[in-house]
Amino acid sequence: MRIWKFGDNVDTDQIIPAEFLTTGDAKALAVHAFSKVRPEFAVAVQEGDIIVAGSNFGCGSSREHAPRALLGAGITCVIARSFARIFFRNAINIGLPLIEADVVDQIDEKDQIELDVDRGLIENLTKQEAYSFQPLPLFMQQLLKSGGLIKYIKAQQT
């Protein structure tokens, strides 16, 4: 697992530039994730990696393509000081876990961390530190464990 750090106000156009919105396929979108601001991201990102960012992550356009591109790239979770509201709901609805925690200054790209989303705990194994956060409401946790809103609804119908 690798940590990818970003600052404040990372908008959806930075996550997935508009010219690549010709598909909804997560893997096809992932190839272009952060292509204009961190061109190495799409090549180096691996399954299980985590993004740590500052405030207002996901601001800008209300497209589902942005969290979908991150899922397609293998991002397991985004931890940020705060999220744009529409990005937050889009991410949860498609099954991308988000954690609101003010840890961008405590976690470095070289750090190894473990997450306990149910208890609201981030353990920084490299620095031997722990940071707490408010866990998501139970309903949102259930959506994430189901793989998103559509999978959750389908499971409820069976």
What's the CATH code of the domain at 41? Answer: 3.20.19.10
- Domain membership flag for residue 54: yes
If pLDDT is split at 50, 70 and 90, which confidence band does 67 have? very high
18 φ/ψ sector (left φ>0, alpha ψ -120 to 50, else beta) = alpha
Question: pTM of the predicted model, to two decimals?
Answer: 0.94
Mean pLDDT of 51-75: 95
- Domain membership flag for residue 144: no
Mean pLDDT of 44-63: 95
- Domain membership flag for residue 147: no
- Domain membership flag for residue 14: yes
- Domain membership flag for residue 22: yes
Judged against a pLDDT cut of 90, whether residue 93 lies above it is answered with: yes
Domain that holds residue 50: 3-110
- Domain membership flag for residue 76: yes
Judged against a pLDDT cut of 80, whether residue 142 lies above it is answered with: yes
Count of domains forming the chain: 1
- Domain membership flag for residue 63: yes
Judged against a pLDDT cut of 90, whether residue 87 lies above it is answered with: yes
Mean pLDDT of 109-120: 94
Mean pLDDT of 139-148: 92
Give the model's pLDDT for residue 62: 82
In b/e form, how buried is each residue of 11-29, taking b as 16+ CB within 10 angstroms?
Answer: bbbbbbbeeebeeeebeeb
- Domain membership flag for residue 150: no
Closest CA to 100 of 128, 120, 71, 127: 120
